[in-house]
Amino acid sequence: MIKARYFFIFCFIFLFIGMYLYKKNLPPRPQVHAVGNFLSQFLSRTNEKLIPDIVKVEKYTIGINLFSDRNYSNTIVSTNFEDCYVIKLPRHFASDIEFFTHEPCKIFRFVSLRNDNTIYTNWKMIHTPVKITALSCNHNYVVSKDYPRGMVSLPSGGPYSADPILVKLSSKKNWRNIIQFIGVTSKESSN
């Protein structure tokens, strides 16, 4: 009986240590992610176009998680994006995403000043307040760009965090009828 009690106390302590390490992104979590990134880059060298299961698309609603692996959402209530779909990427995604759209669309990106935003020099700044608060960086600004029907290739953003992607379609059809995912391309393999 005493051994069982010590076992449960031991498990309980390590559960809280694990939660703390996860929350603060302390070792060994970064090393595990580095190994995962290495393996995904290795796979993308053998298969350049790879559609991971970690990329998800959902209708934007107030309070929706904007990343596929984190619970970060826009804490400022705004109805400006209710007609949009969120392409959910992992928070620290490091690849370009490519898709074909069968109609014109408008892409919104929530950006952070900590990230390298030179990729958005020809995008339009939108004056809609957003606030996605996280540990590594906060996303407080919105940029947009209109895309015609055809191929769309979007960088994930970074280096601190991927920038959330919102797509506003020109019609009210379901996104599955309009957007056809091609895949993701590793940044290393695209150089």
Same domain, 88 and 161: yes
For residue 49, what pLDDT is reported?
Answer: 43
**Which residue range forms the structural domain that includes residue 82?**
51-190
Alpha-carbon 160 to chain mean position: 12
Same domain, 90 and 181: yes
- Of residues 28 and 126, more confidence is placed in 126
Q: Model-level pTM?
A: 0.68
CB 128 within 8 A of CB 80: yes
- Of residues 96 and 32, more confidence is placed in 96
Q: Distance between terminal CA atoms of the chain?
A: 61
For residue 47, what pLDDT is reported?
Answer: 37
Predicted confidence band of residue 107 (pLDDT cuts 50, 70, 90): very high
Number of domains in the chain: 2
Over its C-alpha atoms, the chain yields an Rg (Å, rounded) of 19
User: Which residue has tokens 């005493």?
Assistant: 2
Same domain, 7 and 70: no
User: Which residue has tokens 């209708």?
Assistant: 59
